Amino acid sequence: MASLIDRIRRFLRSPQGQKARARAERYARDPRTQAKARKLLGRARGGGRRY
């Protein structure tokens, strides 16, 4: 049975995986997406607004 890491590697080498990777890289470069990620990480770390 293939390990999870092997299955992920195999997927990333496939045409579908290449498309998914390109899409993720495009989203990562978008400033709006970066701001959303920073906000989410801040809230996860307890830096969100407190009432």
**Boundaries of every domain in the chain:** 4-43
Which residue do the tokens 């495009």 mark?
26
pLDDT of residue 2: 80
* Helices of type H across the chain: 4-13, 15-29, 31-44
pLDDT of residue 46: 85
pTM of the predicted structure, to 2 decimals: 0.58
48 vs 22, which has greater pLDDT? Answer: 22
How confident is the model over 24-36, as pLDDT tens digits? 999 999 999 999 9
Q: What value does the mean pLDDT take over residues 39-48?
A: 84
| For residue 21, pLDDT beyond 90 | yes
Distance CA 17, CA 7 (A): 11
